[in-house]
Each structure stands twice: as structure tokens, then as C-alpha cells.
Chains A and B, each alone.
Chain A
Amino acid sequence: MSASPAADATLRSVQFRREREGTWRQLEALLARVHDKGLGGLSAEELATLPHLYRATLSSLSVARAISLDRALVEYLDSLVARAYVVVYGSRERARRRIGEFLGWRFPAAVRAARWHLLLSLLFTLAGAVIAFEMVTRDSDTYYLFVEPSLAQGRDPSASTSELRAQLYDEHDFDHGLTHFASKLFSNNSRVAIMAFALGFLAGLPTVFLLLYNGLMLGAFAALYDGRGLSLDLWGWLLPHGVTELLAVILCGAAGFLLAHALVFPGAEPRLDALRRRGRQAAEIVLGAVAMMFVAGLIEGIFRQTVTSLTVRYAVAGGSALWWLVYRGGFGRARVRREGLPWR
């Protein structure tokens, strides 16, 4: 340093700032560019220096807190570090890799870790189905209790057997109306599924209601067709997409129960910690379920209306059931054994 008497008297904190300020300014400039253009605006080299600059500035902050009484400096470093922190610890993996991770192990692992919630969700759906089936078989008028006219679209006890049958095998052209139908189904289903999850926040009671209601409709349909000896045809119509779609709804119900579980029985964890851990797991289940519904919507809107062979329909249904079983049962097990569950 140039040795004027004043320089000798320079405060340590002033000296400290003079030495480190370059690093801070560099970090600041990088952050400004990330803010304007995103991480893509940085070169590979700059991207690699970012964490180093962040750590260096972080250490400056703790030194400044220990030795400097310049409030402006400490506040500046505090903000700079906070700003760098959100970039460095914001999510940064590439999208493709993330999707691969999700499908490859996180989603099946999330579902496996929620197997009891899944079972509960399945039981409520089945309970609804059995109740409605029994009631409608005994008294066909109760059908109207479970299925709204807008959903039934003429498929009710007043229809003749041949009408009901025609509905199942009605061949449509691959026309505009159908694509609309498919996207409408997807939109409705995903909304209901996400609600089943979100309503878990109200201790899971509305989730129970949604699942039961879903089961009741299913049971009522089954009873109606069973009464006319059309069971085999109905399931052939319903299951190719229904395997995937029903599973997705049940998964979302399980996600809702995960939230309810964390809220009502947090166990040894603080309630908010439990909610946060299970909430993340549940969110991934819901994301996967929405993707499943998209697939189901495609099958329902396009495949079902163009393929009328019962054998092919059952083959698709059986195939998708087998696939989901293998996928849920097997994918990502080794990874979970190695690393444990990713939600903490």
C-alpha cells in the first residue's frame, strides 16, 4: 500500500473492504445478467465461477459481521449473498434430466412409500362401488342418485338394452368432436384429481367424499349394465383407459391422505415439518397422476372410439394394468435402497 500516514491509520474493516470488493462486484455483475437473461445468459466458465464467488462473498459476510461496524457494508453483503443464494440454491438441473429422474425413480418411489394411503384410497373407491352396485341392482331407480343426467348421456335405466349396447360399440369418425371430448375429459379428470389432493389439507374428509362418489358412479354404471347382461362389454369399453384413469384418481386420493396424515398424525415430527415432507411426496404423486390422466384421455378419446374388438380392448386393459404393476413395483427400488427417499 502507498504509505501515507493516513493509510497506516486505515481501519481493518476498510482494508478488508478494499481487498474483497472486486469479488463482490464480479458476483453482482453476474447476478445482474442472470436476472435479465437467466442462467443461459452466462458462459460455461462464468457458470462455474458463480458458486465460488458466492462462497467467497458468503465468507466475506461472516467476516464483515465479525469485524465491521459499517452498517451499509453488512447490509450490502447480506443482500448480495441472499440474491446469490436464490440463484445458487434455486433449482438448477436441466429439465430433461429432471423428467428422466422423475419417471425413472422418484414417481414410483413416491407411490411405493404411500402404499397404505393408496390402499385406503382404493378401499374407499371400492366401498362406493359395492354400495352403489348393490343398491342399483335391487332398485334401479337409485341409479339417479349416483349419476347425474349430464354425465349419463342417456345411459340410464330407461334406455333399452340395445341402446346401451350400441353406446359401447358406437363407431365414430376420428373427428373434431372427439378430440374436444378427449381434452374435456382430461381437463375435468385432472381438476378432480388435484382437488382430491388439495382437499387432503382439510383433514382428508373431502377426499374421502370424492373417492366414495367416484366409486358410487362406477358401481351404478356396473349395476346398470350387469342387469342387462352387458358386463363383459361394459368393462371392455371402460377398462382400456379406465385402468390408467382410475389408478390416477386413486393415486391422487392417496396424495390427499398423505397430507391429512401429516396434519392429523404428525408423529414425532413437528406438524409443519411433517406436512412439508409429505406434501412434497404427494405433489410428485399428483404430477405423475396428471400425466397418467393425459394418457388415459388419449386412449379414451381416440382408441376406444376406433377399436371395437373386445379382445383388443381387454388386451390393452390387461397390458396397461401389467405395466403399472411392474412400473410401481420395480422402478427405482435399487436407487431408493442406496439413497433413501428424497423427501426430507
Chain B
Amino acid sequence: MAVAGYLDRRGDGARRREIVTPEGIPIQFTLASIGERATALVIDLLIIAAVVIGVVIVASLAAPGADGWVGALALLLVTLLRHFYFAYFEIRGHGATPGKRAAGIRVIDARGGSLEASAILARNLVRELELWMPMTFIVASSLVWPDAPAWMWVVATAWLVLVSLLPLFNKDNLRVGDLIGGTLVVVQPRVQLRADLADAAARAAPVGAPAAAPGAAPGGVGGAVAAARAAAAPRYAFTETQLDVYGVYELQVLEGLLRGEAAGDAGAVQAVAEKIRAKVHYAETVRPGDDERFLRDFYTALRAHLEQRLLFGKRRADKHDR
């Protein structure tokens, strides 16, 4: 698919996953990395530990001498947190426990349906096997199996390592729980709308300012902005033949350049402008130092040209696409 095509070129393509929403429209997510998931897990474990320790301290202060009750309460709490902490918060928090929220990741349904409670339950009950059992064994094997032979400890450690590394060995970074629940862990999408390079009015706004404050009607363009727009009218014009040289890929590379994504290369704008002028045989002269303006005008013209073709169902992927 064309959209995925250019996103792939951004480098994180291998981690992009497309799901189809119930409305039938494909949307893209980025898989959470192992590091992000490990961070989330560690935060959640710390929270669980803090809660248990806190409750035990408060309970023993509140009811001194009632060690039996405190012990029973602590054990019950540990059991409930162990089995249901993750499931509870993932159900309540749209697929994110506090740790996941902090790490900026969340759980989604791998097929694009709604995230069902049973799926969350399934993926988290398996933690018993993947996490708690081996962890208890490594930390305090005498609790699980008194007088366990030393080799058992080695086996448990190997098991934990093997299972926790499973996400490294499949392309979707799935752990056993994800397989059983049919879920994916993805990065919480970051939302930032940047000014449209082809919109003269928006372009006239100072760089870095939001294109429009939330709620402000974008159609309501003030007089000052209209003047700015007139000032920003194209200075350089291009012919059909000149615009026919490039395709969508080149357009979006140019967009990246103009948005300052090609950092650390100050001469890039001039170099690219010269390259384009040579390629399209641009006859008119461009004032020295006006290369960026030239590129913006070229971008706007090229986009208008390509979008026009798009309306007629012709999408030109790149310059080789005839």
C-alpha cells in the first residue's frame, strides 16, 4: 500500500503494524520495543511492591499484635495483586497499566476489534507461568519447593530467560500471553499537527507556533493573515513539464527537508535547490539566499500538480514511476 510505502522509508518501518478498524479503515501503530516494555514492567512491579509494603506497615501500626490478621491480609493482597493487578488496570485504562502509561505504550487487539476484557485476562493470567513462578523460584526457591535440588534452580532461571526472551524471537514482539490473548503491545501514538507547507497563510505564521489554537476555526482568517498570504504568493512559477520530473517520494523527501528533518546539514537547502534547478532545466534566475523560498514554491507547485493527478486516480510513486 502506498501509504505504508513511504512510511517504511522512515526507518521504523519494520516496527509498523497495520490493523483494520471495525469501520474498515486501516490504521498504523508502532510496536513497543522490548526496552519500553521492560521499563513498564519494572515500574508496575515497583508499584505492587510499594502497595504491599505500605499496606503491611499501615495495618501493623493500626492493629498492633494482630499479626495473624496482618499476615492474612498481606497474603491475600499479594495473591490478588499478583493475579489481577495487570488485568484490572489494563481493563480500566484502555490497555495501559500505570507502568505502561509511564512508558508510553499500550495493549491493543491484534485484529483491530475492540479490546475485550477476556483477552486482557488471558494475556495476564499467563504471567503466572511467564513471570511470577520463575521469579519466586529464583528469589526464594524454598517457598515454592523446599529442598529443591540446585539444578532445579538452574532450570527455573533458564526458563525465565527463555520465556522473557520470546518477544525477541518473533516479528511482533509477542510474549506467550499476547499469543493467547490475541493482543499487541504498541507505542501510544504521539499527536502533533504541523503547519501545512503548502498553506501560505499558515506558513506566514511564525515557525514553531501552532497552526491553529485548539477550537479556533481554521476558516476564520484575519486580515493580517490575508495580507501575509498575499505577500507569500508564489514568487517562482513552474511549467507542467518541469513538474512532471518528480513523484510523491521526492515530494515528501522535500517536505522533510523543509521541515528541518535533515538536521546538521546547513548547505542542504542550497544543494537541493541547485540540483532541482539543473534537473528541471529551470531557466529563470533565483536570487542568492532565496533558495528556501524557491524550494517552498516548488514544493507547493509540485504538490498541487501531483494532487491534481491523484484526483484522476494517477498516483506517481517516485521519479521512476512512469
Which listed residue (B130, B180, B211) contacts A276, Cβ 8 A? Answer: B180
Q: Interface on chain A toward B: helix, strand, loop, or mixed SS?
A: helix
Decide if A12 is an interface residue (CB 8 Å cutoff). Answer: yes
Asked whether A183 and B75 contact (CB < 8 A) given A11-B300, A259-B180, A281-B118, the answer is yes
Q: Most chain-A Cβ atoms within 10 A of its Cβ — which of B196, B234, B304?
A: B196
Is the pair A177, B212 in contact by a Cβ cutoff of 8 Å? no
A239 CB, min distance to chain B CBs, angstroms: 24
Is the pair B126, A55 in contact by a Cβ cutoff of 8 Å? no
Q: Which A residues are in CB contact (< 8 Å) with B118?
A: 106, 280-281, 283-284, 342-343
Decide if A17 is an interface residue (CB 8 Å cutoff). Answer: yes
Of B44-52, B184-192, B269-277, B285-293, the one with at least 4 CB within 8 A of chain A: B184-192
Decide if A308 is an interface residue (CB 8 Å cutoff). Answer: no
Decide if A14 is an interface residue (CB 8 Å cutoff). Answer: yes
Contact code string A145-168 (vs B, CB < 8 Å = 1, else 0): 000001000000000000000000
Q: Which B residues are in CB contact (< 8 Å) with A11?
A: 198-199, 300, 303-304, 307
Is the pair A82, B72 in contact by a Cβ cutoff of 8 Å? no
CA distance A231 to B130 in the complex (A): 40
Q: Which B residues are in CB contact (< 8 Å) with A150?
A: 146
Contact code string A1-16 (vs B, CB < 8 Å = 1, else 0): 1101111011111100
Is the pair A72, B122 in contact by a Cβ cutoff of 8 Å? no
Is the pair A275, B211 in contact by a Cβ cutoff of 8 Å? no
Is the pair B226, A2 in contact by a Cβ cutoff of 8 Å? yes
Asked whether A12 and B307 contact (CB < 8 A) given A6-B229, A89-B115, A280-B182, the answer is yes
Is the pair A13, B303 in contact by a Cβ cutoff of 8 Å? yes
Contact code string B75-114 (vs A, CB < 8 Å = 1, else 0): 1101100010000000111110000000000101110011
Decide if A197 is an interface residue (CB 8 Å cutoff). Answer: yes
Is the pair A176, B67 in contact by a Cβ cutoff of 8 Å? yes
CA distance A247 to B170 in the complex (A): 37
Which listed residue (A71, A79, A180) contacts B6, Cβ 8 A? Answer: A71
CA distance A322 to B219 in the complex (A): 70
Q: Which B residues are in CB contact (< 8 Å) with A72?
A: 193-194, 196, 255, 259
Contact code string A272-299 (vs B, CB < 8 Å = 1, else 0): 1101100111111011001000000000
Of A61-69, A136-144, A217-225, A325-333, the one with at least 4 CB within 8 A of chain B: A61-69
Is the pair A198, B128 in contact by a Cβ cutoff of 8 Å? yes
Is the pair B72, A176 in contact by a Cβ cutoff of 8 Å? yes
Residue in chain B with minimal CB distance to A65: B3
CA distance A190 to B256 in the complex (A): 55
Is the pair A21, B211 in contact by a Cβ cutoff of 8 Å? yes
CA distance A176 to B70 in the complex (A): 9
Decide if B264 is an interface residue (CB 8 Å cutoff). Answer: no
Is the pair B68, A283 in contact by a Cβ cutoff of 8 Å? no
Residue in chain A with minimal CB distance to B91: A91
Decide if A86 is an interface residue (CB 8 Å cutoff). Answer: yes
Is the pair B83, A190 in contact by a Cβ cutoff of 8 Å? yes
CA distance A28 to B73 in the complex (A): 43
Q: How large is the interface on A (under 10, 10 to 19, 20 to 34, 35 or more residues)?
A: 35 or more
Of B23-31, B33-41, B53-61, B148-156, the one with at least 4 CB within 8 A of chain A: B23-31
Contact code string A21-34 (vs B, CB < 8 Å = 1, else 0): 11011101101001
Decide if A49 is an interface residue (CB 8 Å cutoff). Answer: no
Is the pair B200, A6 in contact by a Cβ cutoff of 8 Å? yes
A218-275: which have CB < 8 Å to B?
A: 259, 272-273, 275
CA distance A81 to B68 in the complex (A): 52
Is the pair B180, A279 in contact by a Cβ cutoff of 8 Å? yes
Decide if A123 is an interface residue (CB 8 Å cutoff). Answer: no
Asked whether A191 and B193 contact (CB < 8 A) given A22-B215, A25-B214, the answer is no
Decide if B295 is an interface residue (CB 8 Å cutoff). Answer: no
Is the pair B94, A87 in contact by a Cβ cutoff of 8 Å? yes
Is the pair A70, B68 in contact by a Cβ cutoff of 8 Å? no
Is the pair B189, A80 in contact by a Cβ cutoff of 8 Å? yes
Decide if B162 is an interface residue (CB 8 Å cutoff). Answer: no
Decide if A52 is an interface residue (CB 8 Å cutoff). Answer: no
Q: Which B residues are in CB contact (< 8 Å) with A340?
A: none
> Mind listing 20 A-B residue pairs with CB under 8 Å?
A12-B307, A19-B219, A21-B211, A22-B215, A25-B193, A68-B307, A72-B259, A76-B193, A79-B189, A86-B108, A89-B21, A177-B68, A178-B68, A179-B68, A180-B72, A183-B71, A191-B128, A195-B128, A280-B121, A286-B125
Q: Which residues of B contact A (CB under 8 A)?
A: 3, 6-7, 21-23, 25, 27-29, 66-69, 71-73, 75-76, 78-79, 83, 91-95, 106, 108-110, 113-122, 125-126, 128-130, 132-133, 146, 176, 179-182, 188-194, 196-200, 211-212, 214-219, 221, 226, 229-230, 232-234, 248, 251-252, 255-256, 259, 300, 303-304, 306-307, 310-311
Q: Which residues of A contact B (CB under 8 A)?
A: 1-2, 4-7, 9-14, 17-19, 21-22, 24-26, 28-29, 31, 34, 38, 55, 58, 61-62, 65-76, 78-83, 85-87, 89-91, 98, 106, 150, 175-180, 182-184, 186-187, 190-191, 194-195, 197-199, 201, 259, 272-273, 275-276, 279-284, 286-287, 290, 342-343
Q: A21-B211, A201-B176 are in contact. List 15 more A-B contacts (CB 8 A).
A: A4-B229, A12-B307, A18-B199, A21-B218, A26-B214, A28-B191, A69-B248, A83-B188, A150-B146, A175-B68, A187-B79, A273-B182, A275-B180, A280-B119, A287-B121
A-B CB proximity, top 5 nearest: A176-B68, A90-B94, A276-B182, A283-B122, A198-B129
